[in-house]
Amino acid sequence: MNIIDGSKIEKIRAKNAVLIDVFRATTSIVVMMKRGVEEIIPFESEEKARLFIKKHNDYVSVGEREGIKIEDFDYGNSPVELMKAPLEGKKVVFVSTNGTRVLSKIIAEKVYIGSFLNADNIAKIIDEETVLVCANRLNLYSIEDFLCASYIKGKHMGIHMDFERIKNIILKSKSADRLRKLNAEDDMLFSLSLNLIPIVPVYRNGIIREVLL
């Protein structure tokens, strides 16, 4: 079971994979599916998302660029905001700076959407051939993604994982400081809520629609 940096690989081929973008894309996806979204179509770029929205104006638009909500979109990439949003039965177009860009590079039968919110459930359903893909930031290391992947791998192997220690390391990281500067500390803390939402969204054939309980 390999842990890889998805930001540095052009194409990622695997039977099954887990995408991890703790701050904040995969956390937001888990939240949206929990809130009753019918489907999420992720796009690697704002431009492609806008072209789709022009033809499908019944979709809710969710997205950010460099941590900032995209102008004219309905919601930003904020799991805390999305937890309160009326999303039951809605279809969503989703764009993020790192997570959706890396997701577009994964070629696999199924891509599980992983985060701390559903980490133990992810650990239960993966096998030894599953690749854990850390979204990271472009050319930058995101320790929260690596530690989440390490937690999932460890739990799958039956190893005791000290989540409080992991959490404290992340809270002192540059990634955490970046969210603080964006006034998104509430998102940061929420994203570190272990097993709060034990569902596993699945990306298949360009759409996130299926959810494993």
* Alpha-carbon span 48 to 46, nearest angstrom: 6
Q: How far apart are CA 69 and CA 62, in angstroms?
A: 8
Angle (deg, nearest 10), helices 163-171 and 174-181: 60
Report pLDDT for 24.
95
pLDDT in the model for residue 46 = 94
Contact between 60 and 111 (Cβ < 8 Å)? no
Determine the pLDDT at residue 141. Answer: 80
Full residue range of the structural domain in which residue 94 is found: 3-212
Q: What is the CATH number of the domain that holds 115?
A: 3.90.1560.10
The phi, psi pair for 68, rounded to 5°, reads -105, 135
Residues 187-201 have a mean pLDDT of 97
Give me the helix-helix angle, 143-156 and 174-181, nearest 10°. 130
Predicted local distance difference test score (pLDDT) of residue 137? 80
Calculate mean pLDDT across residues 86-109: 96
As a whole number, the mean pLDDT across the chain is 95
Encode pLDDT of 138-179 as tens digits. Answer: 667 899 999 999 999 999 999 999 999 999 999 999 999 999
Q: Give the residues across from 97 on adjacent strands.
A: none
Q: How many domains does the chain have?
A: 1
pLDDT at 110 over 70: yes
**pLDDT above 90: residue 77:** yes
Residues of the chain with pLDDT > 90, as a percent, come to 93
Instruction: Tell me: pLDDT of 64 over 90.
Output: yes
Q: Considering Cα of 71, then 93, then 7, then 149, what sign does the dihedral take?
A: positive
pLDDT surpasses 70 at 2: yes
29 pLDDT above the threshold of 90: yes
- Mean pLDDT, residues 116-138: 95
Q: Which amino acid is at 130?
A: T
Q: What is the pLDDT, as a whole number, of residue 139?
A: 65
